[in-house]
Structure 1
């Protein structure tokens, strides 16, 4: 708590640090999908509404955000937007805590995240296939006034990462006080979660406001496990021992986090506004790894000559299950000054600092190669991502004599990104004397970061952009943007975007965009190495897999080449409409071609000519090998109107998204398993429907969520193995009662019918019941109660 309070104090006094674009930072009134709500994402014209934007923008109100039982913004977006997916990933190392999210089926780091229109820092974790994306769970939902999601390529407007689109979290800045308390639990009786928070906003006369938010969230672990067959056999063979049942837990981790946010602005004069905002998070968690069987894990429980008379069965007679613990923190601060030099010219000068820190420790495990000298707990090391941005953004309303003035936005950015890996305890990465006799080196379960993996890596980029919007006549809007950016690690790039919107009949419009985009490899992806351990589902033996730096001697010998930016071409076209009787909607078709897509090479055996002290079963490296084409349809329909004695709100959303690998068949790198993962790992069809009805003090809401078929995969010592899963429909329901103007009670359930997916058959040997890669919660039904207080 002290760290969070210090962080909030730092936010309140932050010196100028960073920014990304010129846009309003005010939250304003909640949008809630209102087509007349002003949006600031994907445009630098401050008169744009959700209905008349040149590209599709979803606006999620504060009420919609807080309707979810989850305190994780990723889960909230996944429930409300069918084009957004997030996986649960239990027992998946650091990804159990920093979960990858996907927009339109693309990689997690191909979606740019903004807070109040400014770039938010990446997490220190490299996730699936090395994706390094921001952690949406690090931001308190209570602090958010609305979320705007731009479903279109936007690199020409925002820079690297905006290939799939942009998620902009707009912080609430309304005066007043809001607090809540919530309790939830799964039907199975586990996974209890306690959430509470308070937000207070104080008006600074009529010249500004300062808002502080604090939120606490503690979630207990869940378990959807069966006893492993080999554990049953071991217990039968050793009735004198009490083998835990189950020996390992598959489910959500224990997590506790405290979050804070600050959002403030003050008008120094009628034309100059000083603003600052930021977020901070501190938390910890723990998750299980695979059980080490005393009767079957030869790399640990073997008698070797170098340690006469010793066997780890003396320390762990029933085996052991390593438990990964993490301590994580995030902080983002932004300070700037904006204003208007005239009726036509405005400016925004800003700077930001963002940092993600993740430390790991491992308990109930050993470094087998150290024999009796091995500790049973280890500090594994720390990862740190730092970003420092400076921005100068300007807008000039240029009169041209025809139609409205041209909105001319232009500016420049400097961005410095640094990644640091700090070493763990020497014992966590040691290669002891037992390694020569077959005992596994390093901390068993998660090898510590050693000196060869530690280091500091950086990259600097400079960018300049121009962004134009113009309405030559009332029914036509045109847009164009271009951005030049130069990176110290690989050189320069230029992206552009063209857009048009035509409204031939009032209330019905057609829109289209064409854009190029890119995602630059990060310092972490360019330079770091890693070691992971897995359990072969057939032999139940632990195996080590190494991921090499692309420029290392061994990787180059295996065919690695220097990493280059991913590049994209995006085309969207759609229709949108709004009526005077509460019905509005849109249909958008899109195609996204991504070249040199970032992935991981196939697995290689270590050549005999190279040393292999870590006893890697296989090694791989990051590569740009694949090109993909993603095609899809987004359809949204909403209706809000007085019906009978109450008010009805209905929304329907559907997404069809298909990705195909169009090239990447190089003999050295391309592989069928990676192609299949790209194309089938997420459902192609997703939908959501919400019906709400408010009458007097009572309210009710029902939501249905549909996920189409998808394919699961898991790494094995001999390569990837797959299983196809069918479609599933989940339903949520809640009722609320407004006690008075200040207190509201709400209760309900998510997955109210306690629906479970098909079981993950190929993982049964490890005690896993449901896939850990599922794009939905696999823990069954969950009920909750909540009280909201507003003044």
Structure 2
């Protein structure tokens, strides 16, 4: 039996004065647009929908193709379309433009709140490959320890490091492509194409906030194009952004009960569910090119940094294990600092389980001998850690390309680095007792992902007698080195203090520092060779194939292949299909990371250690060395064009075997814990549960993509209608019951909406443009408490979020002088999910993994000058 919170989203809120003002302003601007306003070339205005003549380098290693002529499904999103919305983060911008792309706000999920996991076609973020100007981009250093089931353990790229102003277009290949591009391209490929300007530029200011009055976002962007001699270009783009945090929290039941019992300094709300604070978010992109008579040289790269500060779970002073109580809140945890004498037992609850008044407990604490210590003395209201970090990302790609006889060649090298230094404050290392760092501030260390690539690609056309079109052959080789570094945390964050043996938790509470035993750098190297052949066998029939061999020094070699075909029945109608095999290699981070996190286990917080498969603690619970994921991808579709109409319909089936993910947590017994400590694993002293990476389940994902567009001259201007929708379903075919449980399977299969799509109208009339988008999300499953305990208490009833339609709107003007401005709203009618029925338990007003967010409506304004 399922518990469903309504069949749709929560009924619209009462319209606030602010929401009313935004809607009236947008409507007035639309109605006030004059057909007689000064004319301007529509090509310089806001974006239109997908065009038939825009080409993409994806899907073929030989000849770039348009959306309508491609043998595989490709979305081509112009840079202007990317920017004409209120979102400033590339993840949120893609979410409303690509139906099979999902990402949600991550409020309290450890490092996932710093680099949010995104899912293409229902698969984890490291199943999608990111390219920039057609070259592989490095992955993030963040491993998603808590990924709502679907993304647990994933290590994907950070798409948020690129300013949208730098993008000429974004290509989305919705098909497996490991045979062409290598590891990770199971769900598809994203390619960020950078602008190439020799002159002119743009300066822009953006600001907006949520209807609730929080989350103020301010962004400054600038771009300039310069000539690089007479035959080259140099384009530079910079962006600085700051976003305040939000809160959609309610008071937790335990915090309310603690406050009612007289405990002082209990905040209301005690913990914050909301978007984290982002400060000093700086992004810079350079794209340079130089053409000579025989060789073209290119150089591009990025630098980005940002600081993120978010909330964590509240530590209740009457129950938090390892800090305040170790018997479920019956008695207070009291430590003996000298070992002399015996410390008294102090009750926290009466025989019926009710909290005793704080006054009596405080009096007993005040009477403790000087050698007896309890955190109730210094933190009587409990505490809520704040977690965040500073992220830094940089990359550089340099290369040359040209022709040699009949051959076209391209040689390039790249270096990419993503670094994160974690911080956690307003917390304690309980094992240190009263000897805490200043301001309760800890630096638990960090992670660094570094990648080096070297590529040689050649191609040529080979004339044949059986066709007017030549065979198109592409060959290439790649060498890649990848390393993952774990940086040691500071002393207080890793210390095993003197009170450890008395039951006080060691390490910075909430996110333990990386210890000297787990710190280090872990490398992996691989090389690959590929061949790609494309033949226009007849005027109507295109056939292409690709084969790739890769060899890794960590686990051996793998071979993948792809076969693609397209048949044009008429100039306006064609069918297309593809079959490919793919793989994803386990990352050095997944194979070696070690971390202790705090999760909400039903009704209490629990410390869970994530350990590498080689760790003796993990091996006790069945850990084995990681092997690659392997996939099979089938797709079949149709393309129809007629005048200003474009319609594509593509079905797909993705089978993935031996998926790599985090296991279910395993309980460590007292005997196992004692044996591990005695065997030289001191960190096991405060570990109650462990999880590790493994290959333990297979899935099949099936779906259908529908993309349509129609151009017209409606409403006295150029009006483009676009409809795009995705239906996607994942089924777990096999899983190891010793590795994951039914609750995890349920998350894998149900956590994303099965149907997602949008219908948009873009209108361009002289200097005026308007965008209206209706975004649809079907129902989805939520269990952000990471446990079935609460659901089981109510008869095993899971939380369901209902379907929703979210409306976005924007109007704007661009003048001959180059001045432009726009105003708009995302989630115009301030829709939020139905309220969380267990909000008092977790302190979250809404289900926090809502695919369309839980912050409500956001209004914004943009003003700029293009010169």
Q: Provide the TM-score with structure 1 as the length reference.
A: 0.93
For residue 111 of structure 1, the aligned residue among 110, 125, 128 is 128
Q: Distance in 2 between matches of 1:567 and 1:31?
A: 38
More strand by proportion, 1 or 2? 1
Match of 1:317 in 2: 380
Answer with 304-313 or 76-85: which moved more.
304-313
User: Secondary structure of 1:63's match?
Assistant: helix
The structure-2 alpha-carbon separation of the partners of 1:719 and 1:43, relative to structure 1 and needing over 3 Å to count, comes to: farther
Q: Does 1:231 align with 2:255?
A: yes
Match of 2:336 in 1: 305
Once the two structures are TM-superposed, the CA of residue 720 in structure 1 deviates from its matched residue by 9.0
Q: Distance in 1 between matches of 2:620 and 2:777?
A: 43
Once the two structures are superposed, residues 58-85 of structure 1 have per-residue CA deviations (whole angstroms, 9 ceiling, x without a partner) of: 0001111101212211111111111000
Match of 2:835 in 1: 759
Q: Does 1:189 align with 2:201?
A: no
Q: Distance in 2 between matches of 1:44 and 1:203?
A: 30
Contact 1:31 1:146 in 2 (8 A): no
Match of 2:703 in 1: 632
Q: Distance in 2 between matches of 1:201 and 1:30?
A: 21
Q: Distance in 2 between matches of 1:238 and 1:273?
A: 74
Contact 1:339 1:347 in 2 (8 A): yes
Once the two structures are TM-superposed, the CA of residue 278 in structure 1 deviates from its matched residue by 0.6
Match of 1:11 in 2: none
Match of 2:770 in 1: 700
For residue 319 of structure 2, the aligned residue among 280, 296, 301 is 296
Q: Distance in 2 between matches of 1:435 and 1:598?
A: 34
**Where has structure 1 moved over 4 Å in runs of 4 or more?**
29-32, 715-722
Match of 2:864 in 1: 788
Q: Distance in 2 between matches of 1:661 and 1:293?
A: 38
Match of 1:336 in 2: 399
Match of 2:802 in 1: 726
Match of 2:414 in 1: 352
- Residue correspondence of structure 1 range 667-706 to structure 2 within 5 A: 667-706=737-776
Match of 2:511 in 1: 446
Q: Distance in 1 between matches of 2:121 and 2:232?
A: 38
- Residue correspondence of structure 1 range 161-560 to structure 2 within 5 A: 161-175=184-198, 176-204=200-228, 206-238=230-262, 241-256=264-279, 257-267=281-291, 269-301=292-324, 302-306=333-337, 308-342=371-405, 344-375=406-437, 376-403=440-467, 404-538=469-603, 540=604, 542-560=605-623
The structure-2 alpha-carbon separation of the partners of 1:763 and 1:202, relative to structure 1 and needing over 3 Å to count, comes to: same
Match of 2:25 in 1: none
Contact 2:801 2:850 in 1 (8 A): no
Contact 2:699 2:734 in 1 (8 A): yes
For residue 772 of structure 1, the aligned residue among 823, 829, 848 is 848
Q: Distance in 2 between matches of 1:30 and 1:453?
A: 50
Once the two structures are TM-superposed, the CA of residue 760 in structure 1 deviates from its matched residue by 2.4
Once the two structures are superposed, residues 392-413 of structure 1 have per-residue CA deviations (whole angstroms, 9 ceiling, x without a partner) of: 0001111122321111000100
Q: Distance in 1 between matches of 2:711 and 2:737?
A: 56
Query: Bigger relative contact order, structure 1 or 2, given CA contacts below 8 A and separation 6+?
Result: 2
- Residue correspondence of structure 1 range 578-657 to structure 2 within 5 A: 578-580=641-643, 582-607=644-669, 608-609=671-672, 610-611=675-676, 613-657=684-728
Once the two structures are TM-superposed, the CA of residue 359 in structure 1 deviates from its matched residue by 0.3
Q: Distance in 1 between matches of 2:616 and 2:256?
A: 45
Once the two structures are TM-superposed, the CA of residue 264 in structure 1 deviates from its matched residue by 0.8
Answer with 80-89 or 154-163: which moved more.
80-89
Contact 2:103 2:117 in 1 (8 A): yes
Once the two structures are TM-superposed, the CA of residue 624 in structure 1 deviates from its matched residue by 0.9
Match of 1:19 in 2: none
Match of 1:88 in 2: 105
Once the two structures are TM-superposed, the CA of residue 31 in structure 1 deviates from its matched residue by 8.8
Q: Distance in 2 between matches of 1:624 and 1:785?
A: 47
Once the two structures are TM-superposed, the CA of residue 529 in structure 1 deviates from its matched residue by 1.7
Once the two structures are TM-superposed, the CA of residue 47 in structure 1 deviates from its matched residue by 4.4
Q: Distance in 2 between matches of 1:614 and 1:35?
A: 63
Once the two structures are TM-superposed, the CA of residue 115 in structure 1 deviates from its matched residue by 0.4
User: Secondary structure of 1:776's match?
Assistant: coil
The structure-2 alpha-carbon separation of the partners of 1:606 and 1:388, relative to structure 1 and needing over 3 Å to count, comes to: same
Match of 1:9 in 2: none
User: Secondary structure of 2:507's match?
Assistant: coil
Once the two structures are TM-superposed, the CA of residue 710 in structure 1 deviates from its matched residue by 1.2
Once the two structures are TM-superposed, the CA of residue 206 in structure 1 deviates from its matched residue by 4.4
The structure-2 alpha-carbon separation of the partners of 1:719 and 1:109, relative to structure 1 and needing over 3 Å to count, comes to: farther
User: Secondary structure of 1:373's match?
Assistant: coil
Once the two structures are superposed, residues 521-579 of structure 1 have per-residue CA deviations (whole angstroms, 9 ceiling, x without a partner) of: 011111222211123442x3x32101221122232232222111000001100001112
Contact 1:140 1:259 in 2 (8 A): yes
Match of 2:355 in 1: none
Match of 2:820 in 1: 744
Q: How many residues align?
A: 756
Q: Distance in 1 between matches of 2:809 and 2:740?
A: 46
The structure-2 alpha-carbon separation of the partners of 1:716 and 1:688, relative to structure 1 and needing over 3 Å to count, comes to: closer
Once the two structures are TM-superposed, the CA of residue 663 in structure 1 deviates from its matched residue by 1.3
Q: Which has the larger radius of gyration?
A: 2
Q: Distance in 1 between matches of 2:119 and 2:654?
A: 14
Contact 2:654 2:701 in 1 (8 A): yes
Contact 1:208 1:266 in 2 (8 A): yes
Q: Provide the TM-score with structure 2 as the length reference.
A: 0.85
